[in-house]
Amino acid sequence: MRMSRLFGETLRRPPAEAGSAGQALLARAAYLRQHAPGVFSYLPLGLRTADKIKRIIRQEIDAIGGQEVRMPLVQSASLWDRSGRLREVGDDLVQFRDRAGRKLVLGTSHEDIAVELARSEIHSHRQRPALFYHFQTVFRDEPRTSGILRAREFEMLASYSFDRDEAGLEIQFEKHRTAFRRVLRRLELDPVLAARAGVGLAEASDEELFFPTDVGDDSVATCDACGHTASRKVAAFKKPEPEREPQRPLEKVATPDADTIAALAAFLQVPTERTAKVVFFSAASRGARAADGAPRELLVMALVRGDMEVSEAKLRLAANACALRPAEAAAIRRIGAEPGFASPIGVAHEDLLVVVDDLAAATPNLVCGANEPGYHYRNVNYGRDYGADVVADIAAVPAGASCLRCGAPLRLAAGIELASLHRFGSAAQALGLAYQDADGSLRQPVLGAFGMGLGRTLGLIAEVHHDDAGLRLPASVAPFQVHLVAIGAADADILERAEALYYSLSAAGLEVLYDDRDASPGVKLNDADLIGIPLRLALGKRSLEQGGVELKRRSGPERWTVSAADLPSALTAELEQVESA
Ligand SMILES: [Zn+2]
């Protein structure tokens, strides 16, 4: 590929929206352009790299027995309705109608269609275990996007397994764990942590492969003593012992302007662990139905101690609710509570579900809202002053927490979830998936869903593999193997030799990006550093005087001259070096 014809220009400065260092470099090096928040165009360099990432994933999933298919981007909403996932996924799911009025969705994932396919294709026990996968674009209307690392539109690998029983699913988990680790090693994104992603301590859990990095907006809790590792949003932890003291009489106090926990604790001069934090969500119930048969819309009031945060994942499970949305002030007032000064005291409504964290319920004499602007109660006690529909662990792991298994301190680390392994039961059941077993009986297969996003992976590679001058991509995914720069291309002799070299390298099967532009050596060499291809060849007057072409690795400062005769073997040796790095 000639740089003079390459579609996409390198930029001297990153565009305003580029958040992380890696994304800024991907933009400057003409790999990506952001079209809208979390929505990207891939330029030729970016697409070549994305295709190489995809090829590596494909090889590894093929190696564990996967067969590639492609399921559609646009899916029928009725399928999602039958499995209940229409409500589960909530506002992340974009829904629309076609011209005939049929309801459609833009898939956020493909479990429902995978089950539908399995139902049409798998009839007998002889056809299992079945494993098929695809690459497809998904759109998730996330409330928070952080560039390429948390995009709204992205291509992902999704692989779906159908097994006879839980033991078969375990094998699929192990195979995918190994395959994903191999992929990430080949992308030079290792080591990764395998973190539990399911609430609770049950043996079988969903999992995530997690790359620790400060740019990530996920986090993971790890116990260095016993090895227990879990996504922070679901991790269990040992709650501190609540104070032991007698219940004191309820006392209403004026707390003007104290509508945050910090302001309240400062104003009343109490530690935050002696206050209660109340957070409201709206959600459709999974279990309860309204009169018309539709799932009941609930207002979920979650109460944790002021020194903790609500874990939405734990709360969803405790409340048996679909996707949680922040509740509107009007909905909060409708049940008799006051935003900023809310508590369960004296409020009751048929649509209200009160979920209290087990530690908050056990802590005596808390400061709690009085459901009246500017007022709180002191000495609020669970059981005496308020009750709950559910008491459960709904708190996210705070800093300084201890391991529930062994009591050692938990370490919290920021990072990025790169791959997910999911146990999926209910969709198969809801969609009536069954096959005939050897004894003639009808059985339901056990479904596993495994995913990995391509854009996020590319973003993280750029984040991990760069220096001040630009990208420094692993040879496995760099868009080209060799960056050939003609220094002084205005000189007919140099241009002629560079052209000849470009043709011979290409003819030898190498992927060459050839800078044939009429630009200054500084501009060209800076662009080569920015684009980050592992090997650079510079051909100019000076290198010719020294007897050939100057060779340099992107990863190091050394440069040396190689004669035309030695170039093929030198390049082969260098490529072996950078590819095995
Ligand atoms: Zn532990």
237 CA to centre of ligand 1 in angstroms: 9
192 CA to centre of ligand 1 in angstroms: 19
279 CA to centre of ligand 1 in angstroms: 30
Predicted pLDDT at 431? 63
CB contact at 8 A, 413 and 212: yes
- Ranges assigned E (strand) in 265-327: 276-289, 295-305, 309-310, 325-326
Beta strands at 390-392 and 352-357: parallel, antiparallel or unpaired: parallel
Give the Cα separation of 362 and 358 in Å (integer).
Answer: 6
235 CA to centre of ligand 1 in angstroms: 12
186 CA to centre of ligand 1 in angstroms: 31
230 CA to centre of ligand 1 in angstroms: 11
Give the Cα separation of 460 and 21 in Å (integer).
Answer: 10
436 CA to centre of ligand 1 in angstroms: 44
9 CA to centre of ligand 1 in angstroms: 51
232 CA to centre of ligand 1 in angstroms: 14
| Nearest CA-CA partner of 540 in 581, 506, 508, 493 | 493
Q: What is the mean pLDDT of residues 495-518?
A: 94
Whether residue 426 has pLDDT greater than 60: no
225 CA to centre of ligand 1 in angstroms: 5
Q: What is the mean pLDDT of residues 471-500?
A: 94
Q: What angle do CA 444, 57, 454 make, to 5 degrees?
A: 100
Give the Cα separation of 271 and 263 in Å (integer).
Answer: 11
Q: What is the mean pLDDT of residues 253-263?
A: 90
The pLDDT tens digits of the residues spanning 206-230 come to: 999 999 998 888 899 999 999 999 9
- Residues with Cβ < 8 Å from 523, sequence gap 6 or more? none
Q: What is the mean pLDDT of residues 484-492?
A: 90
The pLDDT tens digits of the residues spanning 71-110 come to: 999 999 998 888 778 877 888 899 999 999 999 999 999 9
Which stretch of 15-19, 207-211, 264-268, 506-510 has the lowest confidence by average pLDDT? 15-19
The pLDDT tens digits of the residues spanning 153-179 come to: 999 999 999 988 889 999 999 999 999
CB contact at 8 A, 278 and 343: yes
Predicted pLDDT at 48? 98
227 CA to centre of ligand 1 in angstroms: 6
Q: pLDDT band for position 520 (50/70/90)?
A: very high
The widest CA-to-CA distance across the chain, in whole angstroms, is 95
221 CA to centre of ligand 1 in angstroms: 10
Whether residue 580 has pLDDT greater than 90: no
CB contact at 8 A, 550 and 560: yes
Q: What is the mean pLDDT of residues 272-277?
A: 95
3-state SS record for 248-260:
CCCEEEECCCCCC
427 CA to centre of ligand 1 in angstroms: 34
Q: Which helix (H) or strand (E) holds 352?
A: strand 352-357
Cα distances (angstroms) measured from residue 42 to each of 8, 26, 27: 10, 10, 10
Whether residue 128 has pLDDT greater than 80: no
271 CA to centre of ligand 1 in angstroms: 28
Whether residue 1 has pLDDT greater than 80: yes
303 CA to centre of ligand 1 in angstroms: 27
Predicted pLDDT at 171? 95
DSSP state of 479: S
475 CA to centre of ligand 1 in angstroms: 39
315 CA to centre of ligand 1 in angstroms: 23
CATH of 480-580, one of 3.40.50.800, 3.40.50.880, 3.90.199.10, 3.50.50.60: 3.40.50.800
The residue written with tokens 């026990």 in the block is 125
CB contact at 8 A, 375 and 343: no
196 CA to centre of ligand 1 in angstroms: 14
Give the Cα separation of 135 and 517 in Å (integer).
Answer: 36
Percent of the chain past pLDDT 90, that is, above it, reads 72
3-state secondary structure of 270: coil
217 CA to centre of ligand 1 in angstroms: 24
Q: Rounded to 5 degrees, what are φ and ψ at 155?
A: -90, 140
231 CA to centre of ligand 1 in angstroms: 14
| From-to residues of CATH 3.30.930.10 in the chain | 21-235+412-462
523 CA to centre of ligand 1 in angstroms: 54
Crossing angle, helix 454-464 and helix 44-63, to 10 degrees? 110
Residue that wins the pLDDT comparison between 505 and 441: 505
**CATH tag, 251-395:** 3.90.960.10
Which CATH fold topology does 21-235+412-462 show? BirA Bifunctional Protein; domain 2 (3.30.930)
Q: What is the mean pLDDT of residues 303-321?
A: 94
Whether residue 538 has pLDDT greater than 80: yes
Q: What is the mean pLDDT of residues 485-509?
A: 92
207 CA to centre of ligand 1 in angstroms: 18
424, amino acid identity: F
525 CA to centre of ligand 1 in angstroms: 51
| From-to residues of CATH 3.40.50.800 in the chain | 480-580
Whether residue 17 has pLDDT greater than 90: no
422 CA to centre of ligand 1 in angstroms: 24
Mean of the per-residue pLDDT values of the chain: 91
Whether residue 20 has pLDDT greater than 70: yes
218 CA to centre of ligand 1 in angstroms: 21
Q: How far is CA 514 from the centre of its chain?
A: 36
Which stretch of 1-15, 55-69, 82-96 has the lowest confidence by average pLDDT? 82-96
224 CA to centre of ligand 1 in angstroms: 7
409 CA to centre of ligand 1 in angstroms: 8
Give the Cα separation of 538 and 577 in Å (integer).
Answer: 19
Query: What pTM was estimated for this model as a whole?
Result: 0.90
239 CA to centre of ligand 1 in angstroms: 14
CB contact at 8 A, 135 and 69: no
DSSP state of 290: -
CB contact at 8 A, 374 and 341: yes
Whether residue 427 has pLDDT greater than 80: no
Predicted pLDDT at 74? 95
Predicted pLDDT at 163? 87
401 CA to centre of ligand 1 in angstroms: 11
228 CA to centre of ligand 1 in angstroms: 6
Whether residue 401 has pLDDT greater than 70: yes
Give the Cα separation of 530 and 516 in Å (integer).
Answer: 17
211 CA to centre of ligand 1 in angstroms: 20
358 CA to centre of ligand 1 in angstroms: 21
Write the DSSP string, 144-211: --BGGGB-SEEEEEEEEEEESSHHHHHHHHHHHHHHHHHHHHHTT----EEEE-SSS--SS--EEEEE
| From-to residues of CATH 3.90.960.10 in the chain | 251-395
